[in-house]
Structure 1
Amino acid sequence: MRMASGDVSLDGKVAIVTGSGRGLGLAYATELARRGAAVVVNDVDDDVAQAAAARVADAGGRATAVVAPVGPTATARQLVATAVETFGRLDVLVTNAGVLRDTVLWKMTDDDFDTVVDVHLRGTFTCVREAATQLRAQGEGGRIVCVGSPTGQRGNFGQTNYAAAKAGIVGMVRTWAMELARAEVTVNAVVPVAATAMTETVPFFRPFVEAARRGEPMPPFARRVLGFGGPDDVAGLVAFLASDAAAGITGQAIGVGGDRLAVWSHPQEVAVALAEGGWSADELAQDFASVLGAHLQTVGQELPEPPAGD
């Protein structure tokens, strides 16, 4: 990974990173601290949260921990209050906390669905609402970075709950970017692809995750074709979006992983057909294939076969 030139500074900034005890969240919190930010880390496990806070502080920043599950309004209020009471203000929120309860639709329980949606979707909503209130009151702008997923963009087998939550997050980000523009608060979504406990559940990615755990370098196919790397490959984008250098970027869904950086498009019409008086069922049965059939969209992530030897 290329070293930073030092142009992106977060000196004097205060950030909250939810779900930052391990994995991607810890990488984000550590990079923000390395850039000069004071960081409120968060996890549901006290030992993990305290260890993360110590690691973040070792990176050069100040850190404190909030041990609480993301989702309830009370946790969002505790996170923002801790930032203000401990460090005097809030400048950056990164909503990263998440869980998985993967199973196919007909086996998914209400609890499977509710747990994932509560942490990812409701947790993003409650934390951003509380942070936005604080940032607007301060009157000095701010940065909000929400974590999405390719699953929310294209769907994935066995992840009804996760796909719904991650798609909803991007929809909220687009809306909040408009609502908070006058307050000079930018809101963006990061769509990471990285070796974590979550991606290990995807059979296609499991060999790469296991190799990374063994300390083996990620092959070029993973880093360049799949855009798949480690948590540190994502952290740079989060730090950039949290900085003054990204003041003109808002309402975007930006993918990152390995050597790749990408912008995800809005869902939009890709083909239009007109019929005088509208379309009856009979006309659709007769003409749909010829007028729109060639434009139907694929579902799920299209993953290429790795070359021999990778």
Structure 2
Amino acid sequence: MDLTGKVAIVTGSGRGLGLAYAQRLAAHGAKVVVNDVDPDAAEAAAKAVNGTAVVAPVGTSEVAQALVDRAVSEFGRLDILVNNAGILRDTTLWKMTDQQFDDVITTHLRGTFTCTRAAAIKLREQSEGGRIICIGSPTGQVGNFGQTNYAAAKAGIVGMVRTWAMELARARITVNAVVPVAATAMTATVPFLKPYVDALEAGEPLPPFARRELGFGPPEDAAGLVAFLASDAAADITGQAIGVGGDRLALWSHPTEVAVEFADGTGWSADAIADVWASQFSGSIQTVGQQLPEAPR
């Protein structure tokens, strides 16, 4: 995967998954604009990838444009955008404040929108195609207790990805979502994952159950997918949500109808739905949340 001559922006790349993405893109030859709200983390990341840093929280149009402008001023062009920046403000619905909801939506959803819009304008102006890679989450695919704001943002990102894939196809700009699972400060807050995060931090190898069944590993395990989607090898892949983590690589399906019945020209009354539901629909009801296997004892 030779990315020599390509220029990438990776938001939220001071540490964790974002840093792993930036490092992998740089290792394949790309020039990288890193971004973080922590000045020390941003500068250290920029040094690690021999790139440049923009210290700012994503969300506003001004920050999005500043990222694109820095790519052009430092490296002459833009080819790749990785929308990774994110925060958590977890709590149950009845405890969640407006501010907690808005903070997560602003960073994840609005930040992905504003950065993609600014990048798309530049990529279309260059007329040479491009790659936009947005970061989803299993929570956005199936939900998770205590993550109303995060689930809404991540589900919205995948919805935007599918729309942008259509809108930008003529310009040869692919748009895909990566759905990673990895040891980060975010996943360390998840009780059933924390032991594996602690094991990695202690330098211990993860058991096959964690790497295969849970698809869980260090951030570096997820970075190869970002490099692949940024490359010419992925020129025909767009509008997809692709999961990665540990030893697991998976293609998520789009939502689709799983059971269909028709009324005979009368529409559906509540009573008619009740009559048909048990026999035709109840067996197809979908689960919510991740259905994870139990760890071997």
| TM-score range relative to shorter protein | over 0.9
Amino acid at match of 1:259: D
Runs in 1 of length 4+ with deviation above 3 angstroms? Answer: none
Match of residue 166 from structure 1: 154
Distance 2:195 2:147 in 1: 20
Distance 1:258 1:48 in 2: 25
Matched, 1:279 2:268: yes
Pick the aligned partner of 1:186 from 174, 177, 193: 174
Indicate the residue corresponding to 2:18 in structure 1: 25
Q: Give the counterpart of 2:288 among 288, 293, 299.
A: 299
CA distance in 1, matches of 2:57, 2:186: 18
Q: Quick one: distance in 1 between partners of 2:252 and 2:276?
A: 31
1:51 and 2:44 are equivalent in the alignment: yes
Aligned amino acid, residue 83 of structure 1: A
Matches within 5 A, 1:187-202: 187-202=175-190
Q: Give the counterpart letter for 2:7 in structure 1.
A: V
| Aligned residue in 2 for 1:216 | 204
Unaligned runs of 5+ in 2: none
Report the CA distance between 1:305 and its aligned residue: 0.7
Map Cα deviations across residues 58-107 of structure 1 (whole Å, 9 max, x no partner). xxxxx000000010111000000000001000000000000000000000
**Secondary structure of residue in 1 paired with 2:49:** helix
* 1:146 to 2:134 alignment: yes
- SS for the counterpart of 2:170 is coil
User: Aligned match of 1:128 in 90, 106, 116?
Assistant: 116
Q: How does 1:243-254 map to 2 (within 5 A)?
A: 243-254=231-242
SS in 1 for 2:198: helix
Deviation of 1:245 after TM superposition, in Å, equals: 1.0
Q: In 1, Cα distance between the equivalents of 2:224 and 2:129? A: 21
1:290 and 2:279 aligned: yes
2:232 is matched by which residue type in structure 1? D
Report the Cα distance in structure 2 between the residues aligned to 1:148 and 1:232, rounded to whole angstroms.
17
- Residue 87 of structure 1 pairs with residue 80 of structure 2: no
RMSD between superposed Cα atoms in Å: 0.7
Q: Could you tell me which amino acid in structure 1 is paired with residue 25 of structure 2?
A: L
Query: What is the distance in 2 between the residues matched to 1:70 and 1:216?
Result: 35
| Match status 1:16 vs 2:4 | no
| Matched residue type, 1:19 | G
Cα distance between partner residues in 2 of 1:99 and 1:14: 25
Shift in Å, 1:184: 0.3
1:13 partner amino acid: K
Partners of 1:296 and 1:189 lie apart in 2 by 26
Deviations 1:157-181 (A, max 9, x none): 0000000000000000000000000
- CA shift for structure 1 position 285: 2.2
**Which letter maps to 2:244?**
V
Q: Name the amino acid aligned to 1:36.
A: G
Matched, 1:269 2:262: no
How many residue pairs were aligned? 296
Counterpart code for 1:10? L
Letter in 1 for 2:278: A
> What's the CA shift for 1:142?
0.4
For the residues of structure 1 that align with 2:225 and 2:276, how far apart are their CA atoms?
A: 46
CA displacement at 1:208 relative to structure 2? 0.7
User: How far apart are the structure 1 equivalents of 2:206 and 2:75?
Assistant: 38
Aligned-partner Cα distance in 2 for 1:73–1:236: 29
Secondary structure of 2:169 counterpart: coil
Q: Which amino acid aligns with 1:33?
A: A
**Aligned amino acid, residue 216 of structure 1:** E
Unpaired runs of at least 5, structure 1: 1-7, 58-62
- CA distance in structure 2 between the aligned counterparts of 1:235 and 1:285, rounded to whole angstroms: 48
- Please point out which of 28, 33, 40 is paired with 2:33: 40
